[in-house]
Amino acid sequence: MDNIFKFAAGIFTTLGFAWLAFVVGAKMQYGALSPEAEMLEDDGSRPVDAELYPKALSGLAQQGGEDYQALGCMTCHTQQVRLVEAGFDVERGWGKRPSVPRDYVMQKNVLLGNTRVGPDLANLGMREYSDEWLHRHLFEPQALVPDSLCPPSPFLYVVSEEEKDGSIEIPATDEEVSRFVRPSFRARGIVSYLQSLQQDYELPEMSFIEVENEVEELVVDKPADGNASSAGVPDWLARQISSGKEIYMKAAPGGGLCFSCHQPTGLGLPGQFPPLAGSDWVLGDKERLIKISINGLMGEIEVNGVKYNNVMAPPGIPPGSLTDSQIADVLTYIRNEWGNSASAVSASEVAVVRAATKDRAAMQMWTAAELSSSSQPAP
Amino acid sequence: MKESPEQVIDRSAKLVVSFFVASAGLWLLAAALLAYIVAAKLTDPFFLSGIEYLTYGKVKIAQANAFVYGWGGNSIFAATLWIIARLSQAEVRGRIFLLFAGTLWNLGITAGLLGILDGKMNAHELLEMPTEVWPVLFIGYSIIAFLALVIHRSREHSSTIAPQWFILSSLLWFPALFLIAWNGLELNPARGTLQTVLSMWFGQSLIWLWLTPMALGAAYYVIPAIMGIVIDKYYLAIFGFWCIAALAPWSVLNHLVGGPVPMWIPAVGTVMSIAMIFPIAVASTNFHATAFKDVGKVWNSLPLRFVIFGTLSYTLSSYIGVIFSLPAVAKLTQFSIINEFHFNQRVYGFFSMIIFGVVYHMLPKITGREIGTGSKTFHFWTSAAGVMMLLLAYLIGGLTHGVLAQQPSLDWASSVISSVQPYFLITKIAFVILGFSQLVFVINVWKVIFPNPLAYILDGSPERKEKSA
């Protein structure tokens, strides 16, 4: 203790043990991992011609990864789906399976992160956002997700008032008129990097966990008299459905009043109000369904082989006032009641449609003709 | 007039210690400003959002580095040199080299922080400053550490006591940790999540093996020095010391639980964090049993009040740390802003409070000038209130964050994060209070170091004036 050299030898030895384990030992254990096939043969050999995962990033995505790091995005976003015992990441839909060490061997800088102010991004590329949506989000998240804490990065874009080649529209908000932004090279890199984040392959050491697929199946396979709150429906879905039912039935501000026309039975009134039960409008194309829930519907339509010619003003009290998540909930409800069963609608899906149809005047209702050939301008 | 040996030592340390304390103060203010910007961005994402140099992520990381290396590093150098010199009864020598090395250190950090803001950051915990500045920092550090060891080697009595063990080990562990991390991340970069294991081990160990032993050593020195009595149950200290040395480097990786690393890594971390109960108990027995022998004195001496606040905070934070490493709790709070609680508790509530006490104890002796009691008291109460407010907000906010994040049905932005937002507002207010508090500290310190800045500039250094007087 009193001799500085012996003392130093002592304290370096204690440190050295931990070093041996965490640095030397860990490296021996899994430092040599390399990309692998999704499945191995029974004898443990790799099938011939099998694709190997993970794949290397494209040059643009790699560049984007550098910028993602330089801007410090990893201070709020992790990139790791935890084991099922350790958290609810898979249930939350942040990945099809927990992340494993092999997923990261092709990355130059591994950005696992340790704080989640924002959602995990390990599988952002699997969430099927369009590049355009991601650019809008990168430019100003608050234009898409109200009250988002994700910081805007306007310095990555050239902003102008009118549309130019390759520019993206940022829809108008209460305070601002709509703007057009042109992504810089760096912005395109970051979006390409974000889209490349996906652990959408299985590996010999980890296969997909069935939670998410169960959700889809449960909804699809429900018996004809399926009740939304029947056991087996995941919590979040049950919640969305029950909130949607409330909106469907509510006759006060914030409600949708849908029941007064389409009836609590979902059967409508012959000749006046079309049914929602079994309707292809409800179970089919989500985008069309969202569009009419935002702006309403008029003119001749056909539902279950019967023609109707009436007007549905933009739903909500006051008209057109339903928020993205309210629309998502009520649509999820009508898609899963009265024997209907189809996948849930999420608030972000509504947000995407709303953003894309921003030009439409609030009370300009859709017509069937317009919806069936959406490329044609409104008559 | 004949000077006492203490006065000779203090005079030999004056210039160097003043330099380090004065620079530490400036970094503290820089960190406070950055901390405010970070907190403000969490309450209003549009705050300064158009300036690329000041994105949330960059400022947050620059803040942590300014705090740990700027404020922490400089104040560690100041306290180390003075305490080691006093305990060795030897003068500080090689002052010109110390000043040179200190300048290197500060220039290195300045360049490093500007590099981070300019988008050149690395992604390794507390090694985020750009690669180029590290050799400079390392050389600066080595010179200072070497000269501190020279003072220690020229000591009067060959036997050593607790403050020396803690301070010397802090001095030696930092370069060892650094070289390990530098080798594994820069020279022979590891692949995949090995990087994360190593960088997290470095970042967390830095707090446990650099800041912590320094502050503990300072407390072991200052408490008996001011109270005039020996440490109670001193024979336990050696046990506490070796427990920290043996356990702490193992106990830091529990945050990786459930992540893409071999399971044994976080598991070892969890077990060892629980074992850390022993050294924590030893230190807190030593400090608090001594302090409670004469509570009045602790209360009346401001330096001591700061130090005891720090040691209480150490005990508390470490026990809370143990609780949060239990698997059931860790599952809830992992990835939540509770991480901020741990970091701030350790570097603010514990390390900084003790350093404030040491500085207030040391500066009057070195400069021969007293610091006003009123402003010291103001500093104490605003710091104490600010720290507690900050920590409570992070603790409760972190629990809220963690518990809600475990409900897969809750929408992330509109349910989980919006419930945490009120706590971000509280932390912003706390950082404003702490900012004022630290401003008072820096003014206190600068006033005794440079009592009359104008005269200083006009007539050259006060050193010369005193000699000629």
CATH code of residue A293: 1.10.760.10
> Is there a single domain that holds both residue A59 and residue A161?
yes
Query: How far is CA B31 from its chain centroid?
Result: 12
What per-residue confidence (pLDDT) applies to A247? 85
Residue with the bigger pLDDT between B61 and A171: it is B61
Across residues A58-65, what is the average pLDDT? Answer: 90
* Closest Cβ–Cβ partner in A26, A73, A239 for B194: A26
The answer to whether residues A219 and A364 belong to one domain is yes
Residues B61, A4: C-beta atoms closer than 8 Å? no
Q: Tell me, yes or no, if A206 comes closer than 8 A to chain B by beta carbon.
A: no
Q: Please, what is the average pLDDT of chain B? A: 90
Q: What is the pLDDT of residue A58?
A: 85
Q: Do A145 and B337 touch (CB under 8 A)?
A: no
| Domain shared by A321 and A356, yes or no | yes
Residues in chain A closer than 8 A to B205 (CB atoms): 18
Report residue A232's pLDDT band, with 50, 70 and 90 as the boundaries. Answer: low
Examine the domain organization and report whether A192 and A244 are in the same domain.
Answer: no
| Mean pLDDT confidence for B334-338 | 90
Residue with the bigger pLDDT between A82 and A252: it is A82
User: Chain B contact for A33, CB < 8 A?
Assistant: yes
The pLDDT of A264-285, averaged and rounded, is 84
Q: Give the pLDDT confidence score for residue A348 in this predicted structure.
A: 82
Residue A10 located in a structural domain: no
How close A364 comes to chain B (CA, Å)? 29
Look at A128-132, A188-192, A222-226 and tell me which has the smallest mean pLDDT: A222-226
Q: Which of A101, A122, A81 is nearest to A35 (CA)?
A: A101
Are both A91 and A223 inside the same structural domain? no
Å between A308 CA and nearest CA of chain B: 37
pLDDT value for A207: 84
Q: What is the DSSP string of B220-271?
A: HHHHHHHH-SPPTTGGGHHHHHHHHHHHGGGTTGGGGTTSSS-THHHHHHHH
Beta-carbon contacts of A16 under 8 Å, excluding residues fewer than 6 positions away, are none
> Which of A317-326, B83-92, B244-253, B290-299 is the least confident region?
A317-326
pLDDT at A36 over 80: yes
CB contact under 8 A, B172 and A8: yes
C-alpha distances in angstroms, B38 versus B55, B389, B393, B397?
A: 9, 17, 15, 16
Of B55, B123, B259, the CB nearest to A109: B123
Contact A264/B at CB under 8 A: no
Note the pLDDT of residue A260. 79
Residue A208 lies in a domain: no
Whether A158 is covered by a domain: the verdict is: yes
Q: Which two tokens stand for residue B135?
A: 């050799």
Pairing of β A366-367 and β A297-303: parallel
Is the CATH number of domain B5-468 1.20.210.10?
yes
Domain span including residue A354: 214-374
- If DSSP codes are grouped into helix, strand and coil, which group holds residue A297? strand
Query: B245 to chain A: which residues are within 8 Å by CB?
Result: 10-11, 14-15
DSSP per residue, A184-223: -HHHHHHHHHHHH----S-BTTB---THHHHHHHHHHH--
Q: Which residue has the higher pLDDT, B1 or A31?
A: A31
Residues of B in contact with A237 (CB under 8 A): 409
- B chain contacts of residue A91, beta-carbon cutoff 8 Å: 408
B339 vs A12, A103, A115: nearest CB? A115
What residues of A are in contact with residue B337 (Cβ under 8 Å)?
115, 117
* Residue at a domain's end among A146, A163, A196: A196
**Least confident residue range of A46-60, A225-239, B364-378, B383-397:** A225-239
Q: pLDDT exceeding 90 applies to what percent of chain B?
A: 65
- pLDDT tops 70 at residue A226: no
The SS3 call for residue A57 is coil
**Domain boundary pick from A196, A225, A242:** A196
CA-CA distance, B18 to B12, in Å (whole number)? 11
Residue A46 belongs to a domain: no
Residue B7, phi then psi, degrees to nearest 5: -65, -35
Task: Name the least confident of A57-71, A189-203, A334-348, B150-164.
Answer: A334-348
Structure tokens, A9: 């030898």
d(CA A236, CA B415): 13
Of residues A230 and A193, the one with the higher pLDDT is A193
119-178 of A, contacting B, C-beta below 8 A: 119, 141-142, 145, 147-155
CB contact under 8 A, B258 and A234: no
- pLDDT at position A170, please? 81
Tell me which chain B residues have a C-beta less than 8 angstroms from the C-beta of A67. Answer: 119
pLDDT at A217 over 70: no
A299 pLDDT exceeds 90? no
Q: Kindly state the average pLDDT of the residues B188-214.
A: 92
Q: Measured between CB atoms, does A9 come within 8 Å of chain B? A: no
Residue A43 lies in a domain: no
- Per-residue pLDDT band for A35 (boundaries 50, 70, 90) equals confident
Per-window interface: A 209-238 vs B, CB < 8 A? 234-238
Q: Where are the domains of chain B?
A: 5-468
pLDDT band at A343 (very low <50, low <70, confident <90, very high): confident
- Among A145, A161, A196, which residue terminates a domain? A196
A232-236, A318-322, B406-410, B447-451: segment of lowest average pLDDT: A232-236
Mean pLDDT of B271-288: 90
Identify all chain B residues contacting A111, using CB atoms and an 8 Å cutoff.
Answer: 123
User: What is the average per-residue pLDDT within A153-166?
Assistant: 85
Q: Cβ contacts (< 8 Å) between B177 and chain A: which residues? A: 15
pLDDT at residue A233, as a whole number: 66
Q: What is the pLDDT of residues A89-99, one digit of tens each?
A: 888 888 889 99
Burial (0-12, 13-18, 19+ Cβ within 10 Å), A98: buried
Q: What total number of domains does chain A contain?
A: 2
pLDDT higher than threshold 50 for residue B361? yes
CA distance readout (Å), A150 to A116, A176, B251, B400? 11, 19, 33, 19
What's the mean pLDDT in A143-172?
85
pLDDT, tens only, B65-82 = 999 999 999 999 999 999
Average pLDDT taken over every residue of chain A: 82
Residue of chain B with shortest Cα separation from A238: B409
Closest alpha carbon within chain B to A346:
B411
Interface of B with A in 111-150 (CB under 8 A): 119-121, 123, 149
Contact A358/A169 with Cβ under 8 angstroms?
Answer: yes
**Which pLDDT belongs to residue B453?**
63
Average pLDDT value for residue range B315-322: 87
Rounded CA-CA distance B86/B88 in Å is: 5
Please determine, for residue A325, whether its predicted confidence score (pLDDT) is greater than 60: yes
A59 and A165 assigned to the same domain: yes
The answer, for B188 touching chain A at a CB cutoff of 8 Å, is no
Six-digit token string for A81:
């789906």
- Contact across the interface for A87 and B406, Cβ inside 8 Å: yes
Gap between the Cα atoms of A43 and A46, Å rounded: 9
Contact B55/A at CB under 8 A: yes
CB-based contact (8 Å) between A253 and chain B? no
Question: In which band, very low, low, confident or very high, does the pLDDT at B459 lie, cut at 50, 70 and 90?
Answer: low
Is A38 inside a domain boundary? no
Establish if A25 belongs to a structural domain: no
DSSP symbols for B402-426: HHHHT-TTS-IIIIIIHHHHHHHHH
Shortest CA distance to B177 belongs to which of B137, B145, B204?
A: B204
Distance in Å, alpha carbon of A144 to nearest chain B alpha carbon: 11
Mutate to test the interface with A, among B38, B46, B48, B55 (most CBs of A within 10 A): B55
8 A C-beta contact, residue B349 and residue B391? yes
Query: What per-residue confidence (pLDDT) applies to A378?
Result: 37
What is the predicted ipTM?
A: 0.90
Q: Would you place residue B103 in the very low, low, confident or very high pLDDT band (cuts 50, 70, 90)?
A: very high
Residue A250: per-residue pLDDT: 77
d(CA A202, CA A245) in angstroms, rounded, equals: 38
What phi-psi label fits residue A317: left (phi over 0), alpha (psi between -120 and 50 degrees) or beta? beta
User: Length of chain A, please?
Assistant: 379
Q: Looking at the structure, tell me whether residues A151 and A234 fall in a common domain.
A: no
Subunit contact A14:B193, Cβ cutoff 8 A: no
DSSP lists the bridge partners of residue A300 as A309
Tell me the C-alpha to C-alpha distance, in Å, between residue A141 and each of A136, A171, A274, A323, B45: 7, 12, 38, 17, 10
